[in-house]
């Protein structure tokens, strides 16, 4: 079986080339070509013909297939449907902001977390994505749009911390100066609350942005919305978040999808403010995006603004997320696994 070089970090690529009997400095050349979008070794003109032939025999550079692109008429957002080799498909989103272009990528084909409001978990988890498959979502979108991407959010299909090894390789590769050279502070990783993995993020990537999907002010509500809460209760999760902030000095973001009649009352807001008091955090309110299968509905805009004002009054930094791509089912919670 050939090795997909897009899955390798710079160090791993150096080791791989040495095993082939080559000098490890070649790794930087090859790595740079890969992240310039090269799809074949023949394009790597600064490598010897002998090395290119050796790579052809032993390695490959896999690429995702763009199956479909949807364009939002509201805000210019693009949703991409990518085909995987095993017949599954994943979705990614290209978004334009004043501060630059952002891509929301998937980290798994499907998801096993089972959050009741999210389309990503409807068909369960099929498999983890490799580091190369995560990176190629960005490379493919840059090539299709002709625009550079400066910010990455790992918030698409899947739970990133449930695929930590491949996530780590992906982050190192897009941060590498010979890769996409995207700064750690321009990378956001979202988790539904895999508490044992949160210290790993602090240790390995202290400068990235951590976003935690909270979505409730207490375990009673959270258990119904997010099964992971039964395994890692809210108090345990918030303790891990406080430790993370203490270790990294970085503000943490809490995602809070407002579900009509479930977690959006004044009492819910007051309880949430009490839980977060004293923690360096920002609450990102998201009026729930409609997913037909869930039977849940988002809070009306006026009620979302009321909830926001309530948190602000109690000293919590909070905003209501600007939703992009909702007309093409590309907004938060609407990305899903599609199987052939």
Please tell me whether residues 284 and 151 are part of one structural domain: yes
pLDDT in tens, 95-106: 988 888 999 999
pLDDT at 323: 65
Report which of residues 310 and 124 the model is more confident about.
Answer: 310
The domain boundary, picked from 40, 60, 80, lies at: 60
pLDDT at 321: 79
Kindly state the tokens that stand for 151: 């910010």
- Among residues 100, 121, 104, the alpha carbon closest in space to that of 331 is found at 104
Please tell me whether residues 176 and 107 are part of one structural domain: yes
Helix 301-313 / helix 266-276 crossing angle, nearest 10 deg: 40
Backbone angles phi, psi at 285, to 5 degrees: -80, 135
Place of tokens 């309110």: 285
pLDDT at 26: 97
Active site residue 332: yes
Percentage with pLDDT > 70 across the chain: 92
Please tell me whether residues 263 and 233 are part of one structural domain: yes
Show the domain range for 107.
65-339
What is the count of structural domains for the chain? 2
pLDDT-based confidence at 116, cuts 50/70/90? confident
Please tell me whether residues 194 and 47 are part of one structural domain: no
Active site residue 115: no
Domain at 36, CATH number:
1.10.150.530
How many angstroms separate the CA atoms of 321 and 340, rounded? 33
Please tell me whether residues 309 and 292 are part of one structural domain: yes
How many angstroms separate the CA atoms of 191 and 206, rounded? 15
pLDDT at 228: 95
Mean pLDDT of the chain: 91
Kindly state the tokens that stand for 276: 């977060």
pLDDT for 322 beyond 80? no
Please tell me whether residues 178 and 260 are part of one structural domain: yes
pLDDT at 294: 55
Please tell me whether residues 55 and 88 are part of one structural domain: no
The domain boundary, picked from 60, 79, 104, lies at: 60
- The 3 state secondary structure assigned to the chain is CCEEHHHCCHHHHHHHHHHCCCCCCHHHHHHHHHHCCCCCHHHCCCCCHHHHHHHHHHEECCCCEEEEEEECCCCCCEEEEEECCCCEEEEEEEEEECCEEEEEECCEEECCCCCCCCHHHCCCEEEECCHHHHHHHHHHHHHHHCCCCCEEEECCCCCHHHHHHHHHHHHHHHHCCCCCCCCHHHEEEEECCCHHHHHHHHHHCCCCEEEEECCCCCHHHHHHHCCHHHHCCHHHHHHHHHHHHHHHCCCEEEEEEEECCCCCCHHHHHHHHHHHCCCCEEEEEEECCCCHHHCCCECCHHHHHHHHHHHHHCCCEEEECCCCCHHHCCCCCCCCCEEC
- Among residues 276, 175, 207, the alpha carbon closest in space to that of 235 is found at 276
pLDDT for 333 beyond 70? no
- Most confident residue range from 75-89, 198-212, 282-296, 320-334: 198-212
Please tell me whether residues 30 and 166 are part of one structural domain: no
The domain boundary, picked from 17, 45, 60, lies at: 60
pLDDT in tens, 18-52: 999 999 999 999 999 999 999 999 999 999 999 99
Strand, helix or coil for residue 96: strand
Which of the following is catalytic: 118, 192, 308, 332? 332
- The dihedral of CA 261, 265, 271, 273: what is its sign? positive
pLDDT in tens, 141-159: 999 999 999 999 999 999 9
Please tell me whether residues 36 and 83 are part of one structural domain: no
Please tell me whether residues 39 and 187 are part of one structural domain: no
Please tell me whether residues 48 and 82 are part of one structural domain: no
Which of the following is catalytic: 14, 22, 91, 323? 91
């Amino acid at each position: 079986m050939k090795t997909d070089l897009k899955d390798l970090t710079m160090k791993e690529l150096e080791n791989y080339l040495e095993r082939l009997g080559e000098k490890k400095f070649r790794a930087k050349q090859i790595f740079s070509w890969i992240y310039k979008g090269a799809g074949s070794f023949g394009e790597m003109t600064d490598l010897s013909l002998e090395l290119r032939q050796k790579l052809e025999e032993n390695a490959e550079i896999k690429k995702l297939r763009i199956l479909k692109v949807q364009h939002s008429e509201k805000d210019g957002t693009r949703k991409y449907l990518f085909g995987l080799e095993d017949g599954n498909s994943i979705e990614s989103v290209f978004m334009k902001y004043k501060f630059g272009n952002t891509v929301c990528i998937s980290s798994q084909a499907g998801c096993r977390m089972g959050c009741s409001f999210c389309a990503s978990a409807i068909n369960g988890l099929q498999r983890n994505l490799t580091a190369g498959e995560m990176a190629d979502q960005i490379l493919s979108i840059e090539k299709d749009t002709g625009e550079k991407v400066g910010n990455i959010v790992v918030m698409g299909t899947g739970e990133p911390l449930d695929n930590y090894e491949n996530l780590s390789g992906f982050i190192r590769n897009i941060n590498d100066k010979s890769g996409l050279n995207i700064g750690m502070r321009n990378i956001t990783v979202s988790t539904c609350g895999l508490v044992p993995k949160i210290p790993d993020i602090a240790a390995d990537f202290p400068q990235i942005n951590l976003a935690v999907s909270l979505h409730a002010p207490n375990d009673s509500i959270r258990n119904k919305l997010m099964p992971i809460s039964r395994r890692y209760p809210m108090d345990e999760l918030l303790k891990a978040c406080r430790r993370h902030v203490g270790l990294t000095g970085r503000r943490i973001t809490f995602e809070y999808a407002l579900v009509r009649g479930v977690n959006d009352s004044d009492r819910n807001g007051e309880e949430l403010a009490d839980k977060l008091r004293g923690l360096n955090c920002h609450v990102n309110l998201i009026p729930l995006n409609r997913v037909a299968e869930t039977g849940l509905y988002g809070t009306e805009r006026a009620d979302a603004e009321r909830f926001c004002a309530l948190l602000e009054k109690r000293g919590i930094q909070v905003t209501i997320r600007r939703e992009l791509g909702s007309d093409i089912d590309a907004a938060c919670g609407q990305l899903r696994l599609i199987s052939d």
